[in-house]
Amino acid sequence: MQIDICPKCAHKLSAPADICPRCGVIFAKLAESATWNQHEERESKAGAIWQLFFQVKEGEKGVIIMIKGAFLTLLSVHGIKLIFTPILAFPDSGWWLHSVNLTFHEAGHVLFMPFGRFLQVLGGTLGQLSVPATVMCAFLLKRDIFGAVVGTWWLGESFLDIAPYINDARAGQLMLLGGVTGSEVEDYHDWEVLLTRMGMMQYDHALARLSFTMGTLLILTAMLWGGYILWKGYRRLG
């Protein structure tokens, strides 16, 4: 590659050269150094990302790892049970976390109320998903990887939880808050309102399956991620 200007001192070269006549820099070595610095920078960024998601706490006691392992096992068992629960049967699964999700769902409606009817309705789903997502990100920023794993699991469960609601947009048979179904009260079922306004009502089942698939992937990710972190922590005990 021909160099017209020295990249170090900006001296303009009158003819092709391997060395700058003003500062004496060897162009090949300068290029090699720049390439190495770029490699080091990429390695540093990759290392930082790895540390963000897979850093193990120093000096963590074995009993703490065991407690976390038991809790992850509990989450995994419940997660697998939920994953294999059909969408139509999900509302009758008796899953207690639904009540927690419902609290943030209703809070989302209130929070987005000033932004118009569409966002107010969508705010329920956004509120339900944003809280576990915030928990996950907050624990990551604090370098509490296991806490982020739990937040990821919860986010996945929330995606599973909203799937039956989306799936019911046309049928309107789910019993909603207030003791009525979507078919009994007009403009009351969130996803009936949303999909009607977007002209996407025919996609309610497909969107429900997408939400359920997203939840499934997040729960499985949390299980594998958490298991790997705890395994690394256990190995350090030896």
Same domain, 43 and 84: no
State both tokens at 85: 């629960």
Q: Which is higher by pLDDT, 30 or 5?
A: 5
Same domain, 17 and 102: no
Same domain, 135 and 206: yes
Q: Which is higher by pLDDT, 110 or 235?
A: 110
Write down the pTM of the prediction: 0.78
End of a domain among 39, 54, 69? 54
What is the overall mean pLDDT for the chain? Answer: 85
Please give the residue range of the domain that contains residue 18. Answer: 1-54
Same domain, 68 and 142: yes
Same domain, 64 and 49: no
- pLDDT, residue 238, reads 61
Same domain, 47 and 78: no
Same domain, 66 and 6: no
pLDDT interval class at 3 (50, 70, 90): low
Name the residue with tokens 């469960």: 157
Same domain, 41 and 69: no
Residue 51 pLDDT more than 70?
no
Q: Hey, is 175 helix, strand or coil?
A: strand
Same domain, 97 and 115: yes
Mean pLDDT within 2-21: 70
Same domain, 119 and 138: yes
Query: Which one-letter amino acid corresponds to residue 208?
Result: A
Same domain, 139 and 90: yes
Residue 154 pLDDT more than 90?
yes
pLDDT interval class at 40 (50, 70, 90): low
End of a domain among 54, 70, 96? 54
Candidate from 60-64, 72-76, 122-126, 164-168 with smallest mean pLDDT: 60-64
Cα-based distances in Å from 172 to 58, 94, 181, 184: 52, 20, 6, 8
State both tokens at 186: 């007009």
Number of domains in the chain: 2
- Residue 82 · residue 158 · CB < 8 Å: no
End of a domain among 14, 38, 54? 54
Residue 158 pLDDT more than 90?
yes
Q: Please provide the size of the chain in residues.
A: 238
- pLDDT, residue 125, reads 96
- pLDDT, residue 22, reads 75
